[in-house]
Amino acid sequence: MAAEKLTQDGRARVLADGNEIPLLALGVWQVPDGPECEKAVRWALEAGYRHIDTAQAYGNEASVGRALRDSGIAREDVFITTKFYPGSRDPEAEAERSLERLGVERVDLYIVHWPQGGPTWAWDGMQRAHERGYARSIGVSNFAASEIDDLLKVADVAPVVNQVQFSPFEFRRKLLAACEARGLALEAYSPLGTGRHLRDSQVAEIAERRGRTPAQVLIRWALQRGLIVLPKSTHRERIEQNAQVFDFELTSADMDTLDGLDGTGGTDRALEQTWW
């Protein structure tokens, strides 16, 4: 990724629409609504995270909003992402409901969670949500390169991100290249493989040699690949450790080793199989 796409401190990226997005986010997928989610978000904000990623389908937007308000941090200093659940029919109306649950006037990023029913039908409603000021930026998730191309043919406002499963084990090189060529930043969800990747012997060897945790190694790999990365944890110590990734770099040999763990063949698809 070109250096000019990063902010001066190297902790955020400038999107194609000019908005800035922090590179490190806390993901709250599968975190129950209530105290567990509120504590995770609060701990993340205390540890320096300034990007929280939720979704209508997660059912915990209200907890994210409460934690943000209780943190005392100014709203404009925290980047909030939520996602349109495509089992619903109207992205504009659902965005308004998300804002009510979050207790904010707008989100920073609103994403189509997956291309159920095809990649284009929801985009008109996403654009209306953007036009109404419900979201500063709009994007997609789980879109393959071909689906992005289909969407770009009909979009008046282009998506600026594509959030997909991405890690050394899911190193979708062709999809990353396609996104960058089309002006979309790639966001990496499940960068730790929901914990599976932490047990890999090569990841562990690099971590031990560098005096880092396996999670820090995987997150750092994503940052050095120019990705926005969304590790998830509900444990305070791990949330804090996962934020300590801007004070070291992996060597080119480390990166090559991690690149070699890919099991996707460098695909331009977002998923090996769909769930809808």
**Cα 57 to Cα 31, 67, 112, 134, 201, distances in angstroms:** 11, 19, 11, 18, 34
For the range 31-39, what are the long-range contacts, defined as Cβ-Cβ under 8 Å and sequence gap of 24 or more? 31/58, 31/60, 31/63, 31/232, 31/234, 32/60, 33/59, 33/60, 33/62, 33/63, 34/60, 34/63, 36/234, 37/63, 37/64, 37/67, 37/234, 38/63, 38/66, 38/67, 38/70, 39/67, 39/234, 39/236
Relative to beta strand 107-112, strand 79-84 is parallel
Question: What order of strands is seen across the sheet that includes strand 135-141?
Answer: 26-27, 51-53, 79-84, 107-112, 135-141, 161-165, 185-189, 228-230
Task: Please give the sequence-ordered ranges of beta strands (E in DSSP) within the chain, or none if there are none.
Answer: 12-14, 20-22, 26-27, 51-53, 79-84, 107-112, 135-141, 161-165, 185-189, 228-230
Is 134 noted as a catalytic residue in this protein? Answer: no
Contact 251, 258 (CB under 8 A): no
Q: Which of 58, 85, 110, 134 is catalytic?
A: 58
Burial of 29 (0-12, 13-18, 19+ CB in 10 A): middle
Active site residues: 58
